[in-house]
Structure 1
């Protein structure tokens, strides 16, 4: 049993006999000493290996007597129930139930006869199959539990005050961002360091290849030559990537409602509208307008996109108009001043920006009437846009 569980046992034998051969004047007492050290070394290794095996078996649901019986059968090979019980230290009245359970788990098999003989299947077959099935069952149960708990969670989310949540897990925040990207309905943006960009890159690519009508802006806090993965985004028209060598804020927002701010050792999640306004202004002036474009939106006839971010479509519309393309638009928002809901359908005729970008305005022709369209918090335009549908013709 000892040698069966020891890894690299040939090396151990070689080392032991090498020690003896080096001592040419070995005495009986010294030989006994060498044997004692050798046996002690083997016992320590055995205890460590067996402890690991038992912990693993218990982790996957093979506990107590079952683990003992299984390991014993691995050790002694084919045997009958009384001998297995004796070798494993299991009470004889219990051994049959234990063996039956191991058969149902697919770890051992039985040979019919008098007496019945049992043997373990090769671990590479029996144990591997059991582990695969165990993982599959855990995943299925996990999905069902998540579905039930998610329903309970949503039903209890009653807003009683400002909703600002703090977590100290970066992994949790990254998973939250992945989830928000996948469920995004219109548009979003992020400023982040290269590490976070690399971790989210595959989610961006998979999502925006499917959701071709959403719009997303990325500003990576890095030098242009430090970004090697942006070429994977070529051909994805609804994402633009910029780089900025300096910056400290890792900001993320989708659909003008979900915000994640990554700090040093903590992160904040919120959907408070006032915070949305602040984050939008901080991102646009601090990161977006200062960033260098390394991958632009793909502007071409047939492009259709949705956006909750007025400023995110400005460059796209300008590029289309410069290329003598028409830009059809549907805009939903509020009249400035009276704050009444309004929906407009027409063609974009131009874009106006001041040098400091304090004014960023789209102009739309609605049945011969030209109206000015601003973004979130507009004060001088005719309409504050909260949702835009753009089609390049």
Structure 2
């Protein structure tokens, strides 16, 4: 750094022009009489004593009483720490200004594009902190580290949380992530976070050119991203952790059917609890009872081991709740009694051989 730049930096730290000049002079000569400092610098003689005293009060120099008042620069440990702290504060302030500039405003929006992946991850973290129902995430270990406290807190609040770890799976203890399920895929992938079905955050893989991120605030577009997550990220990935202390829970009706269809075909009695909305009124609804029917496209029963393709167009459950038959649809249900947001297995009873 040249001297002029150093002068500007010290002035930015709070020193006056004369204080900077006197201090730099002492750094050069080590120790000098106060009068000598005035002679070697641009500080006027009538102001040199006040200037040196001001530097002493700030901890930049110390004075020595001899035949004449002398001064010398103090070891700059505290000064260096102070300058670095202010430098870091300014850098943090710059990052925060950029972050707030890119943060979606409070107005309603459907899609918002961000220029920085870091901003997208921070936005996703804030959404997870306020999640009420469910969170689906695909992230690298570094991204997961930023989200983990929010994910753990969400799980503790009863939010259903699923994570797919992309890339290096050895650096993360899947059982310590703090979510209900963790899966892993070796291939790198996009960053995805889907929160309460309404909000979603997406950034393509890092090798796909210029970085950017997309914030979605729309349940239809979020449904599209959910299907991308389900079919290309979640289902093909290796299962690494399932919280065995909690009931098996699903945010996707398709995922539920894929797992329980073989059991249901074999005559198992499956009790479920469904949380969702009335498609007509939007009112919160809960149905609890025995699963009595599974239907795919055309109302037909799917195969014993159905594929995602069989269920992609239409998938419905029927649940007997105290004698009443409720039809349960998935995301975007129109004709069913309940649009399921959460399906939890309450119990499974296998037939007697």
Q: CA deviation at 1:271?
A: 0.7
Give 1:349 deviation, angstroms: 4.2
1:377 paired to 2:332 = yes
Cα deviation for residue 127 of structure 1 reads 1.1
Within 2, Cα distance between the matches of 1:372 and 1:244?
39
Picking from 323, 341, 353, the partner of 2:283 is 341
CA RMSD of aligned residues (A): 4.4
The one of 111, 130, 133 equivalent to 1:164 is 111
2:146 pairs with 1:203:
yes
**Partner residue of 2:198?**
257
Aligned to 1:293: 238
Contact 1:262 1:268 in 2 (8 A): yes
Q: 1:89 aligns with which of 42, 47, 63?
A: 42
State TM-score, norm by structure 1. 0.63
Is the 2:252–2:330 contact (alpha carbons within 8 Å) kept by the matching residues of 1? yes
Cα distance in 2 between the residues matched to 1:311 and 1:108: 72
Write the mapping of 1:140-219 to structure 2, written as runs, cut at 5 A: 157-159=106-108, 162-191=109-138, 197-212=140-155, 213-219=158-164
Distance verdict in 2 for CA 1:244–1:135, change over 3 Å: closer
Contact 1:351 1:360 (8 Å CA) reproduced: no
Structure 2 gap segments, 5+ residues each: 297-301, 348-353
In structure 1, what is the Cα distance between the partners aligned to 2:128 and 2:75? 45
The answer for the alignment partner of 1:236 in structure 2 is 178
Mapped to 1, the partners of 2:287 and 2:221 lie a distance apart of: 30
CA distance in 1, matches of 2:18, 2:334: 76
1:372–1:59: structure 2 CA closer, same or farther, 3 Å change rule? farther
What residue number does 2:350 align with?
none
CA distance in 1, matches of 2:117, 2:12: 27
Structure 2 CA distance for aligned equivalents of residues 248 and 136 of structure 1: 32
Contact 2:174 2:241 in 1 (8 A): no
Does the alignment pair 1:332 with 2:284? Answer: no
TM-score when normalising by structure 2: 0.69
**Aligned residues between the structures:** 319
CA–CA separation in structure 2 for the residues paired with 1:389 and 1:114: 88
Match of 1:227 in 2: 169
Report how far residue 232 of structure 1 moved: 4.3
Distance 1:294 1:364, change over 3 A: same
Tell me the CA shift for residue 122 of structure 1: 0.7
Query: After superposition, where does 1:40-55 map in structure 2 within 5 Å?
Result: 50=3, 53-54=6-7
Q: 1:249 to 1:208 in 2, by over 3 A?
A: closer
For residues 27-56 of structure 1, give each alpha carbon's deviation from its aligned partner in whole angstroms, at most 9, with x where no partner exists.
xxxxxxxxxxxxxxxxxxxxx565675465
- 1:27 is aligned to none
Task: Pick closer, same or farther for the CA change 1:211–1:158 going to 2, 3 Å.
Answer: closer
Q: Tell me the CA shift for residue 364 of structure 1.
A: 4.5
Offset of 1:378 from its aligned partner? 1.6
Q: Deviation at 1:272?
A: 2.4
1:59 and 1:287 map into 2 onto residues whose CA distance is 50
Structure with more helix by fraction: 1
Consecutive unaligned residues of structure 1, counting only runs of 5 or more, are 1-47
Paired residue for 2:321?
366
**Which digits, 9 at most, give the CA deviation of each residue in 1:353-374, with x for residues without a partner?**
7422334445545334342322
